[in-house]
Amino acid sequence: MPTDKTYLHALWQKVCHHNDQQAFQSLFELLYLRLVNFCIAYVHSREAAEETVGDVFLKLWINRAATGEIAHVETYLFTAVRHQSLNYLRKFSTYHVISTAQTQEIQVVDTASPADATEWKELLFRLHQAVDALPPERRRIFRLVKEEGFTCKEVAGILQLSPRTVETQLFKAVKQLRGVLGVGSRK
């Protein structure tokens, strides 16, 4: 069975535009094992990986109409599994996992002490408030790139903007968030 990007895109279009369950099943069968193996590297458990990948596919099916503009479904699925894996780790660990988007590295921060956990929760709360306060287009770009894992080029295609506009808005969003949160400022 072919697994090239054109074939995957054609399957995805059938799923989105025609609610084609057979195409969705084919997409699932083509990518499931690779996604599970990818997920195991994060969660270190086959059961958790299978559940995580299953959840991602379920969300994809439920939101197929809203996600129909995805140009690279394979990339989207690997990114979604990565995010879902990190969410799993956050939920079931005394460690918090921080993804540094610029380097695609993962840092694990031990927040086992109550004071650290409280400080972490406060920082996350402030971050969510600051993101919500961004102008709408900047907020949308920030979330697509930093939270959903899309590249600036992919976001430009989705929002029908130039890649440079996306990069500029992302830079401004990060700068604004650093200012509000008081982190990463240079003296």
At residue 115, the pLDDT reads: 72
Q: Do you know the residue count of the chain?
A: 187
Q: How far apart are CA 36 and CA 164, in angstroms?
A: 35
Name residue 115's amino acid: A
pLDDT value of position 98:
55
What pLDDT is attached to residue 2? Answer: 47
Q: pLDDT value at position 99?
A: 54
Say what the pLDDT of residue 146 is: 82
pLDDT at 167: 94
Please tell us whether the domain made up of 1-92 is placed in CATH 3.90.550.10. no
Mean pLDDT by 10 residues, the chain (187 residues): 76 90 95 92 89 93 80 82 85 59 48 69 84 88 78 78 92 90 62
Q: For the chain, where do the domains classified as CATH 1.10.1740.10 start and end?
A: 1-92
Residues 113-181, CATH architecture: Orthogonal Bundle (1.10)
Pure H helices in the chain: 5-18, 21-43, 46-62, 73-91, 114-132, 136-142, 152-159, 163-181
pLDDT for the residue numbered 20: 92
Which structure tokens are listed for 19? Answer: 């609610």
68: left (phi over 0), alpha (psi -120 to 50) or beta: alpha
- Where in the chain is CATH 1.10.10.10? 113-181
User: What SS3 state is found at 2?
Assistant: coil
DSSP assignment, residue 69? Answer: T
